[in-house]
Structure 1
């Protein structure tokens, strides 16, 4: 699994969550909602400056964006790209299938 964060999305996280160098954002699966790849589940995020057993940890502008091993089930088989949507003034999550399931 890989996480990619666009420049504008990174700026949004810093502005909206007050993130500074060395801080982090954890992504996880949560009950209810829908994604293009999961029905009944949606993506959640929270500020987390101390990753425990990350399966992926991408640093962008000094901020860590990661998924913990506990949440591998939600992301297995996909790479995650996080972009910014000016219409909603928030992040957009795009899933790209990878070969992890094989």
Structure 2
């Protein structure tokens, strides 16, 4: 599996989360909400250093990653991160 990040998503992280070179952005499974993959769980995002990194994408020296403990959530799908142009919010899609 891999993380695929659009140019708009990269710009969103830099502007909205004030992400800079050398920082880590974690995608994780959180209880609550729903997703295309799991009812009762949704995808969260936070700025934090990895403990047990499983999947990583480095763009502009920013590390986007998923921990080993959250890999089950993706069910062997790639994570595609984009931005809804009207809402200016992140969108996620999952592709095998």
1:96 counterpart residue number: 95
Q: CA deviation at 1:74?
A: 0.9
What CA deviation, in whole Å up to 9, does each residue of 1:2-55 have, x standing for no partner?
00101110010011111110101101111111111111110001001x212211
Runs of 4+ in 1 over 4 A off after TM superposition: none
2:51 counterpart residue number: 52
1:16 counterpart residue number: 16
- CA distance in 1 between counterparts of 2:60 and 2:90 reads 16
TM-score by length of 2: 0.94
1:35 counterpart residue number: 35
TM-score by length of 1: 0.89
2:72 counterpart residue number: 73
Q: State the Cα RMSD in Å.
A: 0.9
Q: 1:86 aligned to 2:85?
A: yes
Q: CA deviation at 1:76?
A: 3.0
Aligned pair count? Answer: 96
